[in-house]
Each structure stands twice: as C-alpha cells, then as structure tokens.
C-alpha cells in the first residue's frame, strides 16, 4: 500500500494547476445516461473515483472513451471524455460497485427517468457519517415514482414516466438535488425544487443539462424550476475547476509560507474560505491566470469557523483548516454542522504535536509553536490531505499511510507540491 513521505520546513513558490472538480465531473458523467447521444466532457480529472464511475456506466451500457492528448497539453491537463449511452442494457447498479463510491447511487435518477425503472443498491456506510438517502427517495416519489426497498436495494418504477411536481427538501442535500434535477429534466410538466443545494457543482450540472436541451431556471438559488422535455441530445461541456482542491492548496501555502499562483482557480467559487484565510494572515488576490496566495513570516492568526452549505465555509475544507490552525498564535474553534463523524483526523494531528480538544461538534485548537513529523494514518479523503498539509510545516519527516484515499480526490498531489519546492514523494509498497 502506497505512502506519502514529507520532510517539512520548505515554503512553497511557483504555480499549481487546478484540476477539474471531481464533485462536478461525477454527476456530469452520470447525466450521460439521460440521452442516447454523446456527451463530451472536457477537463475531467484523472482520479480513482472517475475511473470507477467509468466502469459503473459501462455496466449500464455506456461507451466511454478518452480523446487523445494534443502535444501542447501538459501532464496536468484534464481528460476529454466522450460518453455515449446509446442503449441502456442493464438498469441494475449492484452492491459491489455502489458500495465503493456513494455518488454512483445517483444513477437512480437518470435510469428511472429514461427507462421507467431502476434497481440500485443502497450505498452502505460512510466513514464521515450516516448520509441517508431519504431525501433522494422522497424527491423521486414527488415526481410520481413508486419506490420500495428490498434486501438492500432501492426498487424504483415509473412505467408511464415521471411527472413534474413540487419537491421540498427539509434540509439541503447536494446529492438529492443532483438526482432530482436529472430526473426532472425528462419528467412531463414542471418540477419545482424548494431548498435546493446552491453549490457551484449544481450550477455546472444545470448548465450542462441546458446544453443537452433541458429547460432549467434558478440553479444556484434555493428554488429551481425544471420544465421537462421529451428527450435530451448531444452536448460538449467543460468541467469547472475544483474549488476544494483550490482551497486545499491555498491552505497549504498559508501553512508552509511562500507565494503560489493557483492556475485556473476561480475566486467566486470559494469566497467564504478565502475570507477565513485572509483573516488567518494569508494574502489572496485574483489574477488573469487564477488566484494568487501568499503568506509572509508573521505566522498564522487564530480563527473561528462553522461549516455550512454553500456559500458558507465548506465541510470539505474543515480538516485542512484544522491543520492550519494547529500552528496559529492563539486559540481557534471549528464547528462541524454537516457530518457528525468528521473529526477522525484529530487524533492523527495530535500525533504531530497539535493540541485539540473536542466538545461535541466543535473542535478547539490551541496553536503550538511547532509540529513534529511522525507516522500518521489517513482515515478519509479530506483527513488524508490535512495530514499532508500539517507535514509541510512539521519539523522532520512525516509518513502518511493509506493514501489511496488521496487518489480518490487529488490528482498528482505530490507532483504539484514538489514542483513548488515541497519535499514530498510517494513510496510504493
């Protein structure tokens, strides 16, 4: 099993290209099941989750191909992927595939909308919380679907097609908004989603669906209207830059010091997180090439943060921010409101010398003057990269074990950091 070795102490200088967003690419790929024509996606990141989803879509009959690279493209340029689900050969998504990646459960919406039926395994447990699928199912029921759960599978039927309706989410759910948005695109009549997720990835999916022929208004707001159409067609769409990768590298620069341009990053996708980093002492500015992040030697200031759905501070940056505040000059607090079990990285940060006290859903971090390298264990994707960030500023050597988590969400992380001066390498077993 691969490990990441880091020797801390080097500031970061240079340029880091930001990949396409995994959280946008996955629903966009799943949307290809809505049409027999070809959906072409540009800037698709090369990640383990993307590779697995290609296999899952192939199981349903989609043909997935990657366009060849042009000579001018470098190693960090995303793939252009062509997806053609000319014929759906199987409406079942089995447990052995769905259990490996929760987002694959989202095929339920397009399969049901296009084929009138779907049998999709419940996704099972998740390291960071329960993440139930109730909202997904209630949303599809509001569109006329007949749904039952039998022996771990969701059995959904709409033999006469889905019908537009009113969907009221009692709590914001990005996944459920994705699924209902896709399903409603082919439903008869108008669907109105209330309390819809407002994340940029929702907007990106809506933009792509509109290019395919869907009629959608209000994406990015809490109320979204979809007028169903009889069919969707071919389209070409570029995946938006990954705001979580952007925030992660911005925090890495704030932690290690230095001056880095995050190429292709968009400031508007991450304003709340950038505000927090400025409060912590980072300098952030927008350039023609992306976002520039710098920090001088004055240290990190303490901050108080509560995670929230977009446009609030992202839960997917909570662990990374905790690593940063471990070296703040004072006491910081981070309250996690999205997932109930997303503090598993705390004990591993403590191994590096961090002082963290948990009080329910709040972590209180007392900044220390120095962190010291040690072997640590990754528990999930964001926890993994928080340990890398801590290692960049720790004295001596840090070894991060179980880095297969990183490969699910960060493309060539060690290569991107090393090109900016970090001493970091992958150790293969």
Region 254-260: what's the mean pLDDT? 97
Is residue 1 over pLDDT 90? no
Looking at every residue in the chain, the average pLDDT score rounds to 93
Q: Domain residues of the chain, as ranges?
A: 3-19+241-427, 22-238
Angle at which helices 381-393 and 318-325 cross, to 10°? 20
**Percentage of the chain exceeding pLDDT 90:** 85
Instruction: Report, as residue numbers or ranges, the catalytic residues.
Output: 126
Q: Consult the annotation and say whether 168 binds a ligand.
A: no
Q: How many CB atoms lie within 10 A of CB 144?
A: 17
Q: Are 323 and 348 in contact (CB under 8 A)?
A: no
Q: Consult the annotation and say whether 316 binds a ligand.
A: yes
Distance of alpha carbon 80 from alpha carbon 93, whole angstroms: 25
- 293-315 tens-digit pLDDT: 999 767 899 999 999 999 999 99
3-state secondary structure string across 62-114:
CEEEECCCCCCCCCCCCEEEEEECCCCCCCEECHHHHCCCHHHHHHHHHHHHH
- 210-237 tens-digit pLDDT: 999 999 999 999 999 999 999 999 999 9
Return left, alpha or beta for 61; rule: phi > 0 is left, psi -120 to 50 is alpha, else beta: left
CA dihedral 248, 254, 259, 264 (to 10 degrees): 20
For residue 315, which of 332, 291, 334, 328 has the smallest C-alpha distance? Answer: 334
Is residue 384 over pLDDT 90? no
What are the φ and ψ backbone dihedral angles of 4, each rounded to 5 degrees?
A: -115, 130
Task: Estimate the share of the chain in helix, then strand, then coil, as percent rounded to the nearest 5.
Answer: 35, 30, 40
Q: Is the peptide bond before 376 cis (omega within 30 degrees of 0)?
A: no
Structure letter (DSSP) for residue 19? P
Bridge pairing between strands 304-306 and 331-335: parallel
22-238 belongs to CATH 3.40.50.2000: no
Q: Consult the annotation and say whether 171 binds a ligand.
A: yes
What are the φ and ψ backbone dihedral angles of 139, each rounded to 5 degrees?
A: -65, -40
Q: Consult the annotation and say whether 202 binds a ligand.
A: no
User: Regarding the domain with residue range 3-19+241-427, which homologous superfamily does it belong to in the CATH classification?
Assistant: Enolpyruvate transferase domain (3.65.10.10)
- Same fold yes or no, 3-19+241-427 and 22-238: yes
Q: Consult the annotation and say whether 90 binds a ligand.
A: no
Residue 383 CA to its chain's centroid (Å) = 13
**Cα 115 to Cα 35, 158, 209, distances in angstroms:** 11, 8, 18
pTM given for the model: 0.94
**Cα 276 to Cα 3, 107, 307, 384, distances in angstroms:** 31, 36, 12, 21
Q: How many CB atoms lie within 10 A of CB 94?
A: 15
pLDDT of residue 125: 45
Q: Consult the annotation and say whether 296 binds a ligand.
A: no
For residue 50, the surrounding DSSP H or E stretch is helix 48-59
Q: Consult the annotation and say whether 334 binds a ligand.
A: no
Region 394-409: what's the mean pLDDT? 90
- 105-160 tens-digit pLDDT: 999 999 999 999 999 999 864 433 344 689 999 999 999 999 999 999 999 999 99
């Amino acid at each position: 099993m691969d490990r990441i070795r880091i020797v801390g102490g080097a500031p970061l200088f240079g340029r880091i290209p930001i990949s396409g967003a995994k959280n946008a690419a996955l629903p966009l790929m799943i949307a290809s099941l809505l049409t027999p024509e070809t959906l072409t996606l540009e800037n698709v990141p090369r990640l383990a989750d993307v590779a697995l989803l290609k296999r899952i879509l192939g199981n349903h009959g989609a043909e997935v191909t990657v366009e060849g690279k042009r000579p001018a493209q470098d190693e960090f340029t995303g793939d252009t992927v062509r997806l053609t689900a000319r014929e759906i050969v199987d409406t079942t998504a089995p447990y052995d595939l769905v259990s490996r990646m929760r987002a694959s459960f989202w095929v339920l919406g397009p399969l049901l909308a296009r084929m009138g039926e779907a049998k999709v395994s419940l996704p099972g447990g998740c390291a960071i919380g329960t993440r139930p699928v109730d909202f997904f199912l209630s949303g599809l029921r509001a569109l006329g679907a007949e749904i039952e759960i039998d022996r771990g599978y969701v059995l959904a039927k709409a033999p006469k097609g889905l019908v537009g309706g009113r969907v009221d989410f009692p709590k914001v759910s990005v996944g459920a908004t994705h699924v209902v948005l896709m399903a409603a695109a082919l439903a008869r009549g108008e669907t109105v989603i209330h309390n819809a997720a407002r994340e940029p990835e929702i907007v990106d999916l809506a933009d792509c669906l509109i290019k395919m022929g869907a009629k959608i208004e209000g994406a990015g707001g809490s109320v979204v209207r979809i007028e169903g159409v009889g069919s969707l067609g071919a389209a070409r769409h570029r995946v938006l830059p990954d705001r979580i990768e952007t925030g992660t590298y911005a925090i890495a620069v704030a932690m290690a010091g230095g001056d880095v341009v995050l190429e292709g990053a968009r400031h508007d996708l991450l304003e709340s997180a950038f505000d927090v980093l400025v409060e912590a002492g980072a300098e952030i500015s927008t350039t023609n090439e992306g976002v520039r992040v710098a920090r001088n030697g004055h240290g990190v200031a303490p901050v108080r943060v509560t995670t929230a759905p977009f446009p609030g501070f992202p839960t997917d940056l909570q662990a990374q921010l905790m690593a940063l505040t471990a070296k703040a000059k004072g006491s910081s607090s981070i309250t996690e409101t999205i997932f109930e079990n997303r503090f598993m990285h705390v004990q591993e940060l403590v191994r590096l010398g961090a002082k963290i006290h948990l009080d329910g859903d709040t972590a209180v971090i007392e900044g220390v003057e120095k962190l010291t390298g040690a072997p640590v264990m990754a528990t999930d994707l964001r926890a993994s990269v928080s340990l890398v960030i801590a290692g960049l500023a720790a004295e001596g050597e840090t070894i991060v074990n179980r880095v297969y988590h990183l490969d699910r969400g960060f493309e060539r992380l060690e290569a991107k950091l090393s090109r900016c001066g970090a001493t970091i390498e992958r150790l293969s077993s």
